[in-house]
């Protein structure tokens, strides 16, 4: 009995032989590089790829997105009072990010 991988390979060979694959988007082109792959420590590449493929976003990444949104809001804000509020929120968030990253470093995850 063939394994699942062998069955997949057989179906791909049949699709390639019939020309079905030739019409698909990106056929024959190299796979696109993952953004940030080279910047990611080698020991974290596979775990991060697994998380990404599972559509799971680590909390630290969520914090980075929140920081980017606050920075954009700060740049677009006209009210000085509101800018002060956003600056305080941004400062608090950056401290939280720094503490989370330091905890990861201390645990040997980074």
State the pLDDT at residue 58.
80
Task: Tell me: pLDDT of 35 over 80.
Answer: no
- pTM for the full predicted model: 0.54
* Pairwise pLDDT comparison (19 vs 84), residue with the higher score: 84
8-14-20 Cα angle (round to 5): 105
Q: Are 96 and 63 in contact (CB under 8 A)?
A: yes
Q: What is the pLDDT of residue 110?
A: 60
- 86 CB neighbour count, 10 Å cutoff: 19
Helices (H), the chain: 4-18, 42-53, 59-76, 80-106
**Which pair of structure tokens corresponds to residue 55?**
């559509």
> How far apart (Å, rounded) are the C-alpha atoms in residues 49 and 47?
5
């Amino acid at each position: 009995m063939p394994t699942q991988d062998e069955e997949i390979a057989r179906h791909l060979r049949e699709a390639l032989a019939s020309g079905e694959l030739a019409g698909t988007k990106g056929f024959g082109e190299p796979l696109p590089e993952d953004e940030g792959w080279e910047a990611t420590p080698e020991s974290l590449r596979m775990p991060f790829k697994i998380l990404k493929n599972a559509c799971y976003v680590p909390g630290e990444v969520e914090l980075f997105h929140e920081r980017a949104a606050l920075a954009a809001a700060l740049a677009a804000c006209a009210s000085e009072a509101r800018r002060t509020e956003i600056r305080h929120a941004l400062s608090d968030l950056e401290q939280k990010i720094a503490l989370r990253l330091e905890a990861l470093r201390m645990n040997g995850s980074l």
